[in-house]
Structure 1
């Protein structure tokens, strides 16, 4: 397949490199020093599953430089989603199926609102990876999983083809017959992990070992479940308890990208995590005091480290 990967960071870099190693024609869209390093030496992925290096030059600096594609993977930060969709519409890859591996529940709404509804597949990924230095991505564990599915019956064949491409690349990939529910299931956990590790300024082991912060973790997830159910998503009413039990199985040192970005003074995806829960809750009349407090506490950091801090 000809695959365009928009965003060559931890997520896009890891999955894109594996797909390239399996014989697919992968082109990354990157920028800055990362772009120049990949253009010069290829993208290097260090992984417990084995290191991978892509061919030099397998990268462009703009979506407008892409050629025709059989699949577009979107792996940019959430604030770039609208711009990506708009640029895709005028690119040579404009007719390709699009699969977003971004966080959150807002991503596909944005993409489906700007691209044709038949193009956008639903999907989530499970991986921990980051850019270690320009041209180098570090995959932190053996986990590299994608779950995807169609939003419309007419997408079933495309969904199967994309699923096969991931599996052929040695990536764990599953089909979902209710992809909206699958996306929300991850979102509940992601909001809980992000909200608590960022506000506590520590990993999940610290969060879950103290009564008050453990209760905060549960309540943030329970509010997110309530919003999902108000949206018509078929989550069990006790799904937050299930995710809390899951959090007890995680490595104590595990944290979130929101926490990492906060510690590094970077821009935060908060408006699409706890902030996104608040926005949806306000429209639906669902009380979410815990997520609102998290969003308020972290608000000064949304655009990066505040001046003078």
Structure 2
């Protein structure tokens, strides 16, 4: 198989780390970015901060699609609400790897592209400043499991996994990637709580309700998902969350969307996925509906992370539970 060029569409926390690590390992990489982040990458390179080093990487960057080669691979790492717009300009014969949270992106991509791969991403990273990405995983930067969508592995999946494994990641080609992505979805149901309430204590009961709803909906749908024990065993001690001196990790991807005041948030494709399936199956999911609704509102109104108390959120969930029970 020829040497591939990795075109990373969305060079934020996840995409910037993947692209940066592949570039450091000698792979050909092209970053696709927008706005001030593109300008900073173009003028000064990508500043990749890890627990072990800080490097400025002169990775080629573009705003627009480029002429593709036969050996190109798209690594899609935009938020789910931006998937269709991000993919639309690209030729339909290029393989696409969905390195994204949620479980809807692969199907959206498969409407347009014949070769689609899911990637289950466990990669703690932050992107709040143009041109700068901080990756907190060590000794490896992340666990990246990928496979053909909807299932199976092929030579390309194996090649990408091998390249990632040589680039400071644990890269694995797996035949059941969506099983792992549904497990990650259950974990990501807490992203909206973190965005809305920050690190405030008192959210334990809320999160129990949210994840219990998620499991009930997936079980009713007959959708399999890996257990937390399987996830911990797969990650092992190769990817640990480490501090970086002078760079505090405020929160995950949804927290960062509010911190950057981006105006949108991924919750429709996280908690909203459980709400959608629950509505189709007649399984109530009021806690997830409130998190979906309130996180969307916070993003639209440009509220900062931590703008709601756990008590206020719990009261809204109780009210929604009563409303759904009465309807």
TM range (shorter): 0.7 to 0.9
8 Å CA contact 2:151–2:175 kept in 1: the answer is no
> Which residue does the alignment assign to 2:61?
59
Structure 2 counterparts to residues 1-309 of structure 1, below 5 A: 1-55=4-58, 58-63=60-65, 65-68=66-69, 69-89=71-91, 94-116=92-114, 119-142=115-138, 143-151=141-149, 155-191=153-189, 193-199=190-196, 201-203=197-199, 206-207=200-201, 210=202, 213-235=203-225, 255-266=251-262, 267-305=264-302
8 Å CA contact 2:265–2:296 kept in 1: the answer is no
CA distance in 1, matches of 2:72, 2:193: 39
8 Å CA contact 2:93–2:113 kept in 1: the answer is no
CA distance in 2, matches of 1:234, 1:134: 38
What RMSD over aligned residues (CA atoms) do the two structures have, in Å? 2.9
Offset at residue 108 of structure 1 (A)? 0.9
CA distance in 2, matches of 1:174, 1:302: 34
Give secondary structure in 2 for the equivalent of 1:88: coil
Once the two structures are superposed, residues 218-269 of structure 1 have per-residue CA deviations (whole angstroms, 9 ceiling, x without a partner) of 1211211222223332237xx58999xxxxx999x87332233335533211
Pick closer, same or farther for the CA change 1:240–1:283 going to 2, 3 Å: farther
8 Å CA contact 1:222–1:240 kept in 2: the answer is no
More helix by share: 1
CA distance in 1, matches of 2:53, 2:268: 35
> Which residue does the alignment assign to 1:246?
none
Unaligned runs of 5+ in 1: 244-248
CA distance in 2, matches of 1:77, 1:54: 24
Pick closer, same or farther for the CA change 1:81–1:25 going to 2, 3 Å: same
The alignment of Structure 1 onto Structure 2 pairs a total of residues equal to 285
Give secondary structure in 2 for the equivalent of 1:114: coil
Q: TM-score, normalised by structure 2?
A: 0.78
Pick closer, same or farther for the CA change 1:304–1:79 going to 2, 3 Å: farther
Unaligned runs of 5+ in 2: 232-239, 243-248, 308-327
